[in-house]
Amino acid sequence: MLVAANTARRGAKAAAAAPPAADLRLMVAQLFDTHAATTASRRRGLIELRRLHAAAASASGSAVLAAFHDAVWACLLHIVKARRGAAVDKCELKFFEALDACPAIINHIGAENDDEAIKALGSKLMDSFLPRLARGFAAKSPTVRFRSCQLVALLLNYVTELDDDLHQALREALLQRINDKDAVVRLHAGLALSRFQGPPDDKDEEIFAVLLNMMEGDPSAEVRKSLLWNLDICEASLNALLIRCRDCDPSVRKMLYQ
């Protein structure tokens, strides 16, 4: 009873503290900018974002929660546009290091509360980001394609289930990216697709066959190595995995024995 009362008081406090939708973008951007760059302050920033998220969800109407989603998305856009490699400047690097922030907020909410309504907040946040990121798969810029695939692969680590339409849309879009001319795009598209393999008793045979072919024939050693680590080990994949001990790249051969 005491725990329930405390939870109710925290919820009432969060509801009372719900900021205006117009202020959310600045508040979220400041939290990302202040706390995403250093490990020491990242947890504090995530807790503040979690409180802001809960407050937005408890506000009357859906406008404030939608504004929170848009505010976090605006920060993720800085990651999508950040160049890869050593050429990124300090500001872009801060947002790049914030890659873990969005899933960690969701994970933090789920770990702290067993309430299904609270857990649903993370699912709504994911559902708002994944379709937007999928639009970046077909961008002309290889950086945008790379970052979009990278973020989707990261977010899928924290998703337990997807809407059927979203699942199919992501699946088809990622299947197109495995033939991208940029190896780093193929690598992250393969990582994301590995989340679609399915359980052993209900495996997606098309996805499994595509990943198997990538591991065997992709010209990039990094792509082959990544799939060697992420491909499900089963009777159908065992022979192909063992053949990697004769891979022309020593890092792939080393990965097989790890």
Per-residue pLDDT tens over the stretch 162-200: 888 888 999 999 999 999 999 999 999 999 999 998 887
Within 10 A of 67 (CB to CB), how many other CB atoms are there?
19
- State whether the Cα torsion 147-151-154-156 is positive or negative: negative
pTM for this model (two decimals): 0.78
Q: How confident is the model at residue 109, as a pLDDT?
A: 47
142 and 185 Cβ atoms separated by less than 8 Å? yes
Q: Tell me the pLDDT band of 88, cut-offs 50, 70 and 90.
A: very low
187 and 174 Cβ atoms separated by less than 8 Å? no
Over 80: is that where the pLDDT of 133 sits?
Answer: yes
Q: How confident is the model at residue 51, as a pLDDT?
A: 82
Tell the burial category of 172 from Cβ atoms under 10 Å away from its Cβ (0-12, 13-18, 19+). Answer: exposed
**Cα distance between residue 14 and residue 62, in whole Å:** 15
Q: How far is CA 224 from CA 47, 166, 232, 247, in A?
A: 38, 27, 14, 9
Tokens (6 digits) for 218: 């992709």
